[in-house]
Amino acid sequence: MNLPTLTDVARAAGVSYATVDRVVNRRGSVSEKAKQKVNAAVVHLGYIRNVAAANLSQKRTYRFVFLLPDGANAFFQTIRRLIKKRQESAENTSLDYINVPAFDEAALRAQLAELRDQKLDGIAVVGLDAKGLAPELAALQGQGIPVVSLISDLPQDQRVAYIGIDNIAAGQTAARLLGLAHGGQSGQVQVLAGDLAARDHRDRLDGFQHVIGADFPTISLLPLIAGRDDSALIKQAMANRLATHPGITAIYSLGAGNQGLIDALRAQAQRPLVAVHELVAHARDALADGMFHFVIDQRPEEEVDAVLAQMRALIDNVPPPPIKPILPAIYLRDNLPPLPEQEPPK
Amino acid sequence: MNLPTLTDVARAAGVSYATVDRVVNRRGSVSEKAKQKVNAAVVHLGYIRNVAAANLSQKRTYRFVFLLPDGANAFFQTIRRLIKKRQESAENTSLDYINVPAFDEAALRAQLAELRDQKLDGIAVVGLDAKGLAPELAALQGQGIPVVSLISDLPQDQRVAYIGIDNIAAGQTAARLLGLAHGGQSGQVQVLAGDLAARDHRDRLDGFQHVIGADFPTISLLPLIAGRDDSALIKQAMANRLATHPGITAIYSLGAGNQGLIDALRAQAQRPLVAVHELVAHARDALADGMFHFVIDQRPEEEVDAVLAQMRALIDNVPPPPIKPILPAIYLRDNLPPLPEQEPPK
DNA sequence: ATGAAAATGATAGACGTCTATCATTTTTCT
DNA sequence: AGAAAAATGATAGACGTCTATCATTTTCAT
């Protein structure tokens, strides 16, 4: 009738509660035989640990830290805001983030080393394609502190899970949206990247090129512009390109710094189709204005939640944490989500 | 440091634990003065009830029932599957669904009446645009059983919340996707509805017509086909229409029964742009095949979760349940989510 | 077979809330 | 003032898990 408790398991296994406890909480001093009896009983009864009761008894608080790239990047501002928000409504979880210089391996490494001594229950890192992090990451995992990569992956053996979108799929999606919007006519597409050293940017570009090449043969790609996610740089480069190539029919910006793109577009009459990533404030406005046509968003809220869920599951040691990949959302001006309420500054 | 407990509240209010309990759990026999002292202390300390502990102590189980339209409709099959899935992983919740004849006011009414006598904690109903349900719904709410409308709304005063997408936005989104995909060229669009008596179908049509009319003046709409969500009917009607109107450039199917549409399309060479609703198996296949181009999905998983969250919050009497509107997702062949694992029949 | 080490059992207290009971105090009415 | 009614206090037990302690039994090596 009711869910079985540990006492039920003990009875079924023919051992004492203490022994069951030693098995399920890995306290050692249990014979192989007893361990098997207990595990069999667990399976047989379908015992599921009552996490609520467990946390109650322990007054457990999870301590999680996010390592995020420093800077004005609007997307990560959103992530920071979300973390703060979750912190407030968190029952027994303490959430923090630490800003680390962007794309700086040494700094990230130092930060990871520092975290090793603090008693943490989990770390989420925005991955970096760098070899030098391996020892620090290994040391953390060795201490039982799980590391999850967020948004941009780390090598598989250096993290327990990756939370983020499939960036190849994102690039493909962008390609198909822009491709279909040519209505079968030919066109010239300008791709705007941040830095191809970043894994996510590379993946998006690969996906994009592949779909354009395979399914839209009448569309050609102009040479890539690498804008380093820097608005000023992007503005200038795009202004030039638009001036010299009046035949541009579409733009795909797969990185950040799109304010620069908006500025460049505003300065002239041509209105190509535009697809960008991340629904941040200026992208939202540009979408509503009709300046942008598609925004592909990785839904930071879901990502943050997924990180927390993953880490909790890992720590609670419960069955395989649901590894539901996060799909990029496609926004048009018609399906914009309501703005999150702004917190009035006190 | 730690979160305040009821004992802390009692101390701060200068009353006994028993009195605090009488206040927060509304047991009566408390003077107005005491009530105020307690409430003040609650606010002052920022007390938040520990729901885990509360449920633990009560061994509370929530009993929720979903009333779903009967029939083969693939979308509702998905909902049913999701409910079963949630049931399995539910800690202290019992979930059931009852199939009711579709679009049948009398049957739904009878079912609601029957549920009144069963001790339930919440009901989710797929709304119907019918006057006759009001007394039954009112009676349920009077007994403290909250009713939530799902997918298709009920009049505002007859339910405590609506969980579902904004169907006007969904129709607008479909219009813009198809409109943009004309690449500025003119076209003829065929809209395929189920039954305009259903609120969600009407809303989608309104949104669609509005955006086409406002932003794509070179696109014209052919007379609507009402297929009653019936595959056979739809197949026939569409086959006719395609034969008589070879100039059709796009099709928007805003209801169910799309297998019929697929059959009609397969029977001939013309390949118009197609947007449909709900990512069910055949839509998924058609998308992968290139037969469909856009699928707008209301993400049933999120809807089911939102229903449960709403109801739990209502019952736990916790602060305003987060009323996050559910956005329709747009799927292309490139961003299809992984298939849920099929359960092997035992 | 003796002692040390390993394994097991029994059990109490804590976590925060809910429910229930009984005793005591305060208020209200005549 | 005195009795009835209302309000309050005190407190114990339950929910399921974790942690800790101490006593007892079993296993193993010599």
Whether A55 maps to a domain, the answer reads no
Q: How far is B73 from chain A (nearest CA, A)?
A: 25
Point out the least confidently predicted range of A138-152, A231-245, A308-322, B28-42: A308-322
C-beta of residue A241 within 8 angstroms of C-beta of residue A267? no
Closest Cα to residue A162, out of A125, A201, A130?
A: A125
Question: Residue range A134-155: average pLDDT?
Answer: 87
Give the span between the Cα atoms of A12 and B232, in whole angstroms: 56
Q: Assess whether A35 and A105 both reside in one domain.
A: no
CATH number assigned to the domain comprising residue B26:
1.10.260.40
Question: Residue range A260-284: average pLDDT?
Answer: 94
Give the span between the Cα atoms of B11 and B32, in whole angstroms: 18
Name every chain A residue with its beta carbon within 8 A of the beta carbon of B175: 334
Structural domain of residue B213, as residue ranges? 167-297
Whether B72 maps to a domain, the answer reads yes
Whether B25 maps to a domain, the answer reads yes
pLDDT at residue number B346: 28
Residues 179-218 of A with CB under 7 A from strand C: none
Whether B201 maps to a domain, the answer reads yes
Q: List chain C nucleotides near protein: any atom < 7 Å from a Cβ.
A: 6-11, 13-21
Q: pLDDT band for B283, please (50, 70, 90 cuts).
A: very high
Point out the least confidently predicted range of A1-10, A161-170, A334-343: A334-343
Q: Assess whether B85 and B33 both reside in one domain.
A: no
Q: Assess whether A112 and A130 both reside in one domain.
A: yes
Q: pLDDT band for A154, please (50, 70, 90 cuts).
A: confident
| Burial (0-12, 13-18, 19+ Cβ within 10 Å), B223 | exposed
Q: pLDDT > 90: what percent of chain B? A: 56
For chain B, list residues whose CB is within 8 angstroms of any CB belonging to chain A. 2, 50, 52-53, 55-56, 59, 91, 169-170, 172-173, 175-177, 180-185, 207, 211, 273, 293, 325, 327-330, 332-335, 337-338
Whether A344 maps to a domain, the answer reads no
Q: How far is A177 from chain B (nearest CA, A)?
A: 8
Q: Assess whether B147 and B175 both reside in one domain.
A: no
Q: pLDDT band for A250, please (50, 70, 90 cuts).
A: very high
Whether A239 maps to a domain, the answer reads yes
Q: Assess whether B128 and B142 both reside in one domain.
A: yes
CATH number assigned to the domain comprising residue B317:
3.40.50.2300
Q: How far is B206 from chain A (nearest CA, A)?
A: 13
* Nearest-nucleotide field for A27 (CA, C1'): D19
Q: Assess whether A198 and A226 both reside in one domain.
A: yes
3-state secondary structure of B257: coil
Q: Kindly determine whether residue B337 and residue A327, on different chains, have CB atoms separated by under 8 Å.
A: yes
Q: pLDDT band for A20, please (50, 70, 90 cuts).
A: very high
C-beta of residue B45 within 8 angstroms of C-beta of residue B4? yes
Model confidence pLDDT, tens digit, residues A63-87: 899 999 887 778 899 999 999 988 8
Q: Assess whether A41 and A66 both reside in one domain.
A: no
Which residues sit opposite B62 in a β-bridge? B93
Cα separation values, A208 from A179, A182, A260, B286, Å: 10, 15, 22, 22
Name every chain A residue with its beta carbon within 8 A of the beta carbon of B2: 59
For the sheet with B147-150, list strands across it: B93-100, B62-69, B122-125, B147-150, B161-163
Kindly tell me if the per-residue pLDDT of B86 is higher than 60: yes
Q: pLDDT band for B265, please (50, 70, 90 cuts).
A: very high
Q: pTM for the full model?
A: 0.84
In angstroms, how far is the first alpha carbon of chain A from the final one? 52
Cα separation values, B299 from A211, B65, B173, Å: 26, 20, 15
Model confidence pLDDT, tens digit, residues A281-334: 999 999 999 999 999 999 898 899 889 888 887 777 665 556 667 888 999 999
Q: Assess whether A114 and A192 both reside in one domain.
A: no
Kindly tell me if the per-residue pLDDT of B343 is higher than 70: no
Question: Residue range B175-183: average pLDDT?
Answer: 97
pLDDT at residue number B1: 55
Point out the least confidently predicted range of A44-53, B82-91, B167-176, B193-202: B82-91
Give the span between the Cα atoms of B12 and B39, in whole angstroms: 11
Q: pLDDT band for B66, please (50, 70, 90 cuts).
A: very high
Q: Assess whether A172 and A239 both reside in one domain.
A: yes
Q: Count of domains in chain B?
A: 3
Q: Kindly determine whether residue A173 and residue B332, on different chains, have CB atoms separated by under 8 Å.
A: yes
Whether A19 maps to a domain, the answer reads yes
Strand C lies under 7 A from the Cβ of residue A2: no
pLDDT at residue number B171: 97
Residues 278-317 of A with CB under 7 A from strand D: none
Closest Cα to residue B123, out of B103, B148, B155, B159?
A: B148
pLDDT at residue number B246: 93
Which residue is closest to D17 in terms of CA–C1' distance? A54
> Between residues B130 and B288, which one has the greater pLDDT?
B288
Q: Which of B52, B177, B183 is nearest residue A56 as measured by Cβ atoms?
A: B52
Q: Assess whether B133 and B79 both reside in one domain.
A: yes
B130-136 LR contacts (CB < 8 Å, sep 24+): B130/B105, B132/B105, B132/B106, B133/B105, B133/B108, B133/B109, B133/B158, B134/B158, B136/B109, B136/B112
Cα separation values, A69 from A85, A146, A155, A226, A240, Å: 19, 20, 18, 19, 30
Instruction: Tell the residue number behind the tokens 């929530």, with chain if given.
Output: B62
Q: pLDDT band for A344, please (50, 70, 90 cuts).
A: very low
C-beta of residue B122 within 8 angstroms of C-beta of residue B311? yes
Question: Residue range B281-300: average pLDDT?
Answer: 95
Q: Assess whether B277 and B252 both reside in one domain.
A: yes
Whether B344 maps to a domain, the answer reads no
Q: Assess whether B73 and B108 both reside in one domain.
A: yes
> Between residues A203 and A324, which one has the greater pLDDT?
A203
